[in-house]
Amino acid sequence: MTTAQSKDVQARSGSYTVAVALVAAVGGLMFGYDIGVISFAKEGVKNAFKLGTFEIEVVVAAVLAGSFAGAIVAGKLCDRIGRRWTNVWGGILFAVGCLGCSLSYDFWMITAFRIMMGLGVGFSSVAGPLYIAEIAAPWSRGAMVSLYQLAITLGILIAFLIGLAMPDLWRIHFGIGIVLGLGLVFGMLVMPPSPRWLVGRGRVDTALGVLKRTTGSDTAAKSELEAIKVRVKEEAGEHLLTELSRSPAVRRALFLAFGLALLQQFSGINAIMFYAPEILKEIGLVKHEYLLTAMIGVVNVLATFIAIWLVDRLGRRVLLLAGTSLMMLSQIGIGIFAFWIPTGAAAADGTGSVPMAGIFALVMIFLAIIAFAFSLGPLVWLVISEIFPAGVRSACVGVATAANWTGAFIVALFTLTVLENKSLGTSSVFWIFAGSNIVAIIFIYLKLPETKGAKLEDIEGFFSAKNSKSARDHS
């Protein structure tokens, strides 16, 4: 094939893959919406059901408990019914969960339906990135999976904007989520199944048809099909536990994914996403907290484009190391500036004037969001979806995703308590997260091989003992 032809093939297959990825990314919208919605809705829920701090933390965290359970189950489901149908079920559960939340009449009912929303998001948080990574071509996989993250950030933003537009109508906030759930259901029903899953099920001809469309060329489709067939044959009958005891490469990859998933949450991103209004009040930005929360949502979306643009050019390691370092420095800054602000300063002085240190802390919050959005946000989902051999991929992605939700659960459950504790306060929250980001930097530096541009079928080789160091040094 000439260079011009191959460019044409890339462009044609690219638009098809983008379309497929966009539909799968509706799951990302759901994911983001369920994180963002509670930031505004919790005030209304709190007043409606007369809830205290801990009960509110439970309502916030319930969705994450559901997502944890959903992610574990989804690992298996992705193999049994396929990535596409797991996404469809994710959409159904989410839509029903949202409906239930919007009709809730007490703490228990809203908690139960928040868990159901979470189950749906848990399903799609495993099946979405997996499906996209398996459909995308190696040269665009980074950007395609980053689309999923872009959708998460858009979901958060939509939720923030709806919250801002109708702050008291929390039932409607949840009700709008139904549209996203149904969008995923109907969108996924018209999409093709993942070729790797099809081959695993013996449906080789259908897989070839899908590959022809995603690669844009018969020759490329056939060669990719052969590579998948070889791998699937080698990996037939693999079970996670047997593979973990047998293969150091799978153990290394799972350790990496598990670590990244947890560290993404302990970076503290969701302390901001869930509790931005409370944090902004604490640093003296009373009266502006909701508008600023929405601006955080906007910045989060925009900065994700940096990752989409750079991830397949610069690679995963550079972006992750740069972003995590910037986030850590910004959080140290937030801690320092917040330290200078007496709790509830602006509220107490009654004039609504904003302390200077509060403005600096705010700038640091924006920097931390930008840093996360071009690094840990998209790249953790990308790495998790690309480093496992096909035979155990969905089970491993399920385990790592469940670890991510566990981290989010812990952050949701304790942040407010620490924020509201007079002797700890805002500074301590951010210093704790900065400490965790130092661990993340070291972990990424030591453990993450560069996977930019590599075929999924080749990446598992990066984790064999002799290759893992050279893959890292090579980057």
Given the rule CB under 6 A, which residues bind ligand BGC?
35, 149, 152-153, 156, 264, 269-270, 273, 300, 377, 381, 404, 408
Instruction: Output the DSSP codes for 244-303.
Output: HHH-HHHHHHHHHHHHHHHHHHHTTHHHHHHHHHHHHHHTT-TTSHHHHHHHHHHHHHHH
Q: Between residues 81 and 298, which has the closer beta carbon with respect to ligand BGC?
A: 298
Of the candidates 317, 263, 252, 300, the one whose C-alpha atom is nearest the C-alpha of residue 436 is 263
Of the candidates 28, 15, 66, the one whose C-alpha atom is nearest the C-alpha of residue 216 is 15
Q: How far apart are CA 72 and CA 75, in angstroms?
A: 6
Residue 411 CB, nearest approach to ligand BGC (Å):
9
Q: Between residues 111 and 153, which has the closer beta carbon with respect to ligand BGC?
A: 153
Residue 15 CB, nearest approach to ligand BGC (Å):
25
Residue 343 CB, nearest approach to ligand BGC (Å):
26
Residue 303 CB, nearest approach to ligand BGC (Å):
9
Q: Between residues 149 and 427, which has the closer beta carbon with respect to ligand BGC?
A: 149
* ∠ Cα 84 89 94 (to 5°): 125
Residue 71 CB, nearest approach to ligand BGC (Å):
11
Q: Between residues 61 and 269, which has the closer beta carbon with respect to ligand BGC?
A: 269
Distance set, CA 408 to CA 334, 401, 404 (Å): 21, 11, 6
Cβ atoms 155, 300 nearer than 8 A: no
Residue 269 CB, nearest approach to ligand BGC (Å):
5
* Closest residue to ligand BGC, based on beta-carbon distance: 377
Q: Between residues 216 and 377, which has the closer beta carbon with respect to ligand BGC?
A: 377
Residue 370 CB, nearest approach to ligand BGC (Å):
11
Q: How far apart are CA 44 and CA 169, in angstroms?
A: 7
Q: Between residues 211 and 367, which has the closer beta carbon with respect to ligand BGC?
A: 367
- Polymer length in residues for the chain: 475
Phi/psi at 99 (nearest 5 deg)? -60, -45
Q: Between residues 259 and 377, which has the closer beta carbon with respect to ligand BGC?
A: 377
Cβ atoms 82, 106 nearer than 8 A: no
Of the candidates 382, 397, 376, the one whose C-alpha atom is nearest the C-alpha of residue 70 is 397
